[in-house]
Structure 1
């Protein structure tokens, strides 16, 4: 079942960018960390939208983590985490389900003291088993545990979020 089509996803991304900017107007710069492939794609699109409405420096960093085994080998940032000291950080993923991936994605940030950490997802399923608060969500969705939300970013006309 289709939850969001291409146009709706783009509209959600633009709205999320506005919300992020509104809540971060006092920040000199923003560090956005995109998780794996789809979280990074969403983060790239957010950065693109943010840059059309703000001139503040926005830094995009990829984070690699295995959702199935988040400690093996562990979350990996490609940049020096010490740069995040006293900075505003936004962690981005496509879907928040139990909160486990988002929880472990914060591990590298425990080496420094960021000014604040916020979380942005396109779809928040509200099945949190882990202590993760989603700051920004494009869509909140109540589902059963057995159902799966799949976000596909496939180009100019093919983006979609589906419930399987």
Structure 2
């Protein structure tokens, strides 16, 4: 961790938040007929998706498929998925590290909507309280009131969330 960064979550705190959200997911999704789809938004969301899939399997033996969602977060005109599959009647949990305006999440949902999923849920490690788009996460690690000028960054090292800081 850098000494001049204002960390809001260190690695142990981030791990605890992810574990708590995995328990919430397991409680909500237990008994789901098909494996759930955990769709991580590239790059940090994918790391989180893999961690969550492992945790919910350990907690409640809920099977899952992991998909990577790729898009330009500033100009999300093209959204690609790491694999194509039938999403009809499936539960999809869309995972992102930080929810700022809600724009990325809203656009990342598009490829799934044409398939008529059973439900789409949103999980975010850090949720900011001011949004330009009507997006509300179902599972939230930490919610922060920030100014529009503040930026929140989540850092990962390998397959671990190493922290989140405010700049």
Report TM bin, short chain: over 0.9
Runs of 4+ residues deviating >3 angstroms: 155-158
- Greater per-residue strand proportion: 2
What does residue 79 of structure 2 align with? 75
Unaligned runs of 5+ in 1: none
CA distance in 2, matches of 1:158, 1:108: 27
- Summarize deviations over 1:118-147 as a string: whole Å, max 9, x none: 000000002211121210010000000100
Q: TM-score w.r.t. structure 2 length?
A: 0.92
Which of 55, 61, 71 lines up with 1:65 in the alignment? 71
CA distance in 2, matches of 1:157, 1:30: 22
Deviation, structure 1 residue 5: 0.5
Which of 53, 59, 68 lines up with 2:59 in the alignment? 53
Deviation, structure 1 residue 156: 8.1
What does residue 134 of structure 1 align with? 137
What does residue 114 of structure 1 align with? 117
What does residue 88 of structure 1 align with? 91
Deviation, structure 1 residue 8: 0.3
Q: Secondary structure at the match of 1:92?
A: strand
Which of 22, 27, 35 lines up with 2:32 in the alignment? 27
- Summarize deviations over 1:59-98 as a string: whole Å, max 9, x none: 1010101001100xx11112224x2100111000000000
Q: Secondary structure at the match of 2:43?
A: helix
What does residue 13 of structure 1 align with? 18
CA distance in 1, matches of 2:149, 2:124: 20
Unaligned runs of 5+ in 2: 1-5
Deviation, structure 1 residue 149: 0.4
Task: Compute the RMSD of aligned alpha carbons.
Answer: 1.5
